[in-house]
Structures are given as C-alpha cells and as structure tokens.
Amino acid sequence: MINPDPRFTTEVELTVPFHDVDAMGVVWHGNYFRYMEIAREALLNQFDYGYRAMKASGYLWPVVDSRIKYRSPLTFEQRIRVQATLEEYENRLRIGYRIFDIAGNKPTTTAYTIQVAVELQTGELCFVSPQILFERLGRIQ
C-alpha cells in the first residue's frame, strides 16, 4: 500500500559538491544513497523517530533492500531536491525517493529503500513494526 498522505513526505535541497563527482564531473552512483539518506533522516525526524530515537526505543532499523533508477546524471554544483515519502510502515519501512533537478524541475532519479525493525536486545527480526512507530506516526499533525 502506497501512503498518499502528504504529511509522510519531506524534501531537502542540496548542491552537488565537488568531492561527489568523478573526473567527468558526474556524480558517482554510490553517492545517490548519501543524498537519499539525508532525506530519509529528515523524514524520520519529522515524526520524532530518527536514528537516536529508534535506538533509544530498543530497535534498530537496518536497510535490507534498495533499488535505484538513474534517469539522467547529476553533475558538480547542480542544485537538486530530494523527496522522501514513507510508503509502507505496517511491517517494514519502505521509503520512496525522487530526485529532481531544481533548475528544470525535472526528475533525475527514482529509488526506494526497505528497512526492518530488529530488537536491539535480542537481535531478532520483527515481522510487524513495533508499537512505538505507530505512536510516533500518530503524532503527525
């Protein structure tokens, strides 16, 4: 189920730094995950369940799957907008991403990541998201 609620979406704007590009001035493919991580962190913090809060609640949420589709390359000093949307949360966190070129408002990249809850004490995988997640999501106004 894709979550259509706009309260579960956030956006961050970034400028591609020199250290993220190769000799041709194009962003190395692995750096896209860093941009997505910045947006994911902003999204999680939006409902007060960022990484510190996750750990404090007794759960770790490792990324267990990801997919990315590169439509057009990002380049040095390009201004981009990274949108992150919480698409699923009942049994896992599926976060969808869209990266846009700000100047042309054109999508350059689509992706998703999947995270699952793991109990910090036991290391056991949770097959249903823990109650704390639902409580935090319920606080969104």
The CATH homologous superfamily to which domain 6-137 belongs is: Hotdog Thioesterase (3.10.129.10)
Rg (CA), the chain: 16
Q: What is the pLDDT along the chain (141 residues), one digit of tens a residue?
A: 455 677 899 999 999 999 999 999 999 999 999 999 999 999 999 999 999 999 999 999 999 999 999 999 999 999 999 999 999 999 999 999 999 999 999 999 999 999 999 999 999 999 999 999 999 998 765
Distance CA 108, CA 82 (A): 10
Q: What is the pLDDT of residue 138?
A: 87
49: exposed, middle or buried (Cβ count in 10 Å: 0-12, 13-18, 19+): buried
The torsion angles phi and psi of 90, rounded to 5 degrees, stand at -65, -45
The catalytic site residues sit at: 22
At residue 53, φ and ψ (nearest 5 deg) are -65, -40
Q: Are 63 and 34 in contact (CB under 8 A)?
A: no
Contact criterion met (CB below 8 Å) for 47 and 137: yes
121 with 55: CB under 8 angstroms? no
Task: Tell which residue, 12, 13, 31, 10, has the closest CA to residue 74.
Answer: 31
Tokens encoding 13: 């704007």
Note the pLDDT of residue 1.
47
